[in-house]
C-alpha cells in the first residue's frame, strides 16, 4: 500500500516537472513557430493569377467558354472528351462524397450546355 502511494507521488512530481519545463519553453517555441511562418512562401495575387485554375466566379448565364472552363476541355472538344471530363469532375465533386451541390449543378449544367451546342 505504501509503495503504491510513493509511486503515485513520484509520478505526479514527474508530471509537474515536465509541465514546468514545457511552460518555460513555450515562449521559445512560439518564436520558432513565428520564424517558420515567416519563411513560408507568400501567396499573392500574381501567384494566383499564374495558377492553372480559372480565377473568378460564375457568369449569370452559361456560355460555351464558361462550360469549357468548368469541364476543363477546349470549347471545340468532342462529345467523348466532354463525357470523360464530366465523369472525372463529378467523381471528385459529387455531393454524396462530400462535394458541393451547387458545384455539382454547375458541372451538370456545363455538360448539358456543351452537349446541346454540339447538336
pTM attached to this predicted model: 0.54
Domain ranges of the chain: 1-40, 45-118
Whether residue 69 contacts residue 51, with contact meaning beta carbons closer than 8 Å, is answered with: no
At residue 34, does pLDDT exceed 70? Answer: yes
Give 31's Cβ-side CA count (13 Å radius): 5
Q: Write the CATH number of the domain with boundaries 45-118.
A: 1.10.287.110
At residue 114, does pLDDT exceed 70? Answer: yes
d(CA 103, CA 90): 9
Cβ burial of 107 (10 Å; 0-12, 13-18, 19+) is: buried
Whether residue 70 contacts residue 106, with contact meaning beta carbons closer than 8 Å, is answered with: yes
How does pLDDT run across 55-99, given as a tens digit for each residue?
A: 667 878 888 989 998 899 999 899 999 999 999 999 998 999 898
**Can you give the pLDDT at residue 46?**
55
Q: What is the grid cell recorded at 98?
A: 462530400
Amino acid at each position: 500500500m505504501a509503495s503504491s502511494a510513493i509511486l503515485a507521488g513520484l509520478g505526479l512530481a514527474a508530471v509537474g516537472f515536465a509541465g514546468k519545463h514545457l511552460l518555460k519553453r513555450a515562449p521559445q517555441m512560439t518564436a520558432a513557430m513565428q520564424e517558420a511562418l515567416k519563411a513560408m512562401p507568400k501567396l499573392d495575387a500574381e501567384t494566383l493569377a499564374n495558377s492553372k485554375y480559372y480565377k473568378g466566379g460564375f457568369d449569370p448565364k452559361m456560355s460555351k467558354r464558361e462550360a469549357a472552363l468548368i469541364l476543363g476541355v477546349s470549347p471545340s472538344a468532342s462529345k467523348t472528351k466532354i463525357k470523360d471530363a464530366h465523369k472525372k469532375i463529378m467523381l471528385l465533386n459529387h455531393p454524396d462524397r462530400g462535394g458541393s451541390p451547387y458545384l455539382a449543378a454547375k458541372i451538370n449544367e456545363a455538360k448539358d450546355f456543351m452537349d446541346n451546342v454540339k447538336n
